[in-house]
Amino acid sequence: MSAKLIYVMGPSGVGKDSLLNWLRSHVQTLQPQPALHFARRTITRAAGDATEDHEAIDPEDFAKLAQEGVFALHWQAHGLHYGVRRTELADRSGWVIVNGSRAYVQEARSRCPGLTVLHVSAPEDLVRQRLLSRQREDAAEVEARVRRSQSAAVHLAGGDLHIVNAGSLEESARTLCQLLQAHTGLQLVRPA
C-alpha cells in the first residue's frame, strides 16, 4: 500500500459522517489529484441508505469476499459488516481517509503500519441530543449507547489526531481542515 492512511474513528453521535461529508463536498486540494481520496466502504446495509455512498452487499457475499482476501480492512459493528477493499488503498500516491471503528483500530494499525488515527469526540450531552434527533433508537437505547461510548478507552499514539466536534458543522470542519493541513502538508481550500 503506497497511500498514507488517516483512520477516522469515534462513537456514534460525534458527527464523523457529517464532517467527512462536509470535507467531500467542500474541500479541494491544490496538489495534482488524487492527493486526498475518501475510501468507499462495502457495508451489509441497504443500498438506499443515504448516510454515505457505499457498496451495499448481503452478509453471505461479504463473508465470501473477506475469505478471499478482497478487503484490506474489515470489521463488524452495530450488527453490520464493514469492509474497505484493497483497491481503495492500493496504488494511491496521496492520502486516503477511511471511516473506521474504534473496536478495530488495533487490527487496522497492524494491517496498515504508519496509519494516523483521527479521533472525533463531542460532549456527552451533545452526543445524546444528536442520537435522539436521528430517531433510530428509543431513549433507553440511546442512553446505553452513550454509556458505552463514554466508557470505551481511546488510546492515541504519537502523531495521532483528535478533534472535538462541539461547535457548528462549519466551525468544526474548518478546525478539521487546519488539523489535516498541518498533518498532511496538503493545501486544503474551500471553494469560494
Strand 4-9 and strand 95-99: pairing?
parallel
**Residue 108 near residue 7 (C-beta atoms within 8 A):** yes
Provide the angle, in degrees to the nearest 10, between the axes of the packed helices 124-134 and 139-151. 140
Whole-angstrom Cα distance, residue 11 to residue 17?
A: 11
Cα distances from 82 to residues 42, 112, 183, in angstroms, run 6, 17, 27
The pLDDT, as a whole number, for residue 192 is 46
Q: Do 115 and 97 form a contact (C-beta atoms < 8 A)?
A: no
Confidence tier at 81 by pLDDT (50, 70, 90):
very high
In one letter, which amino acid is 11?
Answer: P
CA nearest to 119, candidates 102, 104, 97, 106: 102
Measured at the alpha carbon of residue 136, what is the angle toward residues 16 and 97, in degrees to the nearest 5? 20
List, in order of start, the domains of the chain with CATH numbers: 4-189 (3.40.50.300)
Question: Which residues touch 29 (CB under 8 Å, ≥6 apart)?
Answer: 35, 36, 94, 186, 187, 188
What pLDDT score does 28 carry? 65
Q: Measure CA 173 to chain center.
A: 14
Average pLDDT over residues 146-166: 83
Does the pTM of the predicted model rise above 0.85? yes
Which residues lie across from 98 on neighbouring strands? Answer: 7
pLDDT at 41 over 60: yes
- Residue 29, pLDDT score: 58
